[in-house]
Amino acid sequence: MSASVEFWISVLQLSLERNMENNLRKTLNLSRLVPKGGILLLPEMFIWNFEEEEIERLSSMTPQVLDALGDLSRKRDLIICGTLPEKTEEGIRNTAYLIDRGYLIGKRSKIKLFPLFGEDKHFIPGEENPVFNTRFGRIGILICFELRFTDLVMDLKKKEAELILVPAQWGLDRKPHLETLAKARAVELQSFLAVSNIWGTLKETEFAGSSGIYSPWGEILGFSDKGDAIITSRIRLGDVEDVRRRIPVNIG
């Protein structure tokens, strides 16, 4: 961990349509406005609305979408994270991809599938909960519903994650849970944490917005209640070390 490492982290919050091509176009247009040389977090399934009949078509589009994100990350010197359906021999997974300057540097599939959206009917669960060594520190990923699961969170703590990325499609009726858990997990892990959620109404479900960036001390560094937004903060990785030294919780 280097106290001298500083970078921008940007979180995209947007509403989705039932048109995947329009969602991708909006995502790319907004993403081009974020600061260069940092991290960009996109929402969970940022071009899809969980319509079962569309999953096969969308999974076949994933390589094309990854190419577009790779081009963006290369031109703007970014690490980009967002989830897309990944077609595997076993079935389709809800997979978060990490792309750095045009190259895929890691991926992590959703382990805890959300039953209220019937995710267990669309996807097969992931198995691994890795932490990725990147030029911007050690990154862990929790996908939406997984923010609730202490076992996954504590596993990332043991693996010394410094930044947690949370791509999400989190419903409005559970909005207080998202805001409480995001802040609490940042404090619990003594790490930076960023949430990228969608907002608005999609398939008769209202979504919470409430995207934000949190410090290892639990401070809100950036937040958007609703509306299409880019939330950006300059963070210093050394703050993680400072907080962990100030409040030593790894004892016993």
pLDDT for 108-134, tens place per residue? Answer: 999 999 998 888 888 999 999 999 999
Only one residue has tokens 């805001």, namely 179
**Dihedral of the CA atoms 212, 161, 47, 149 (nearest 10)?**
-80
Residue 227's pLDDT is 97
User: pLDDT tens digits for 157-170?
Assistant: 999 999 999 999 99
Residue 30's pLDDT is 96
pLDDT < 70 stretches in the chain: 1-3, 49-51, 251-252
Residue 3's pLDDT is 62
Only one residue has tokens 């031109």, namely 75
Report all structural domains of the chain as residue ranges with CATH numbers, in order of start.
7-246 (3.60.110.10)
Helix (H) or strand (E) holding 57: helix 55-75
Q: Taking CA 242 as the corner, what is the angle to CA 132 and CA 4, rounded to the nearest 5 degrees? A: 65
DSSP E strands in the chain: the ranges are 6-13, 38-41, 79-87, 92-100, 103-109, 131-134, 137-141, 163-167, 192-196, 199-202, 205-208, 211-214, 220-224, 229-236
Residue 122's pLDDT is 83
Residue 36's pLDDT is 96
Residue 140's pLDDT is 98
Residue 57's pLDDT is 83
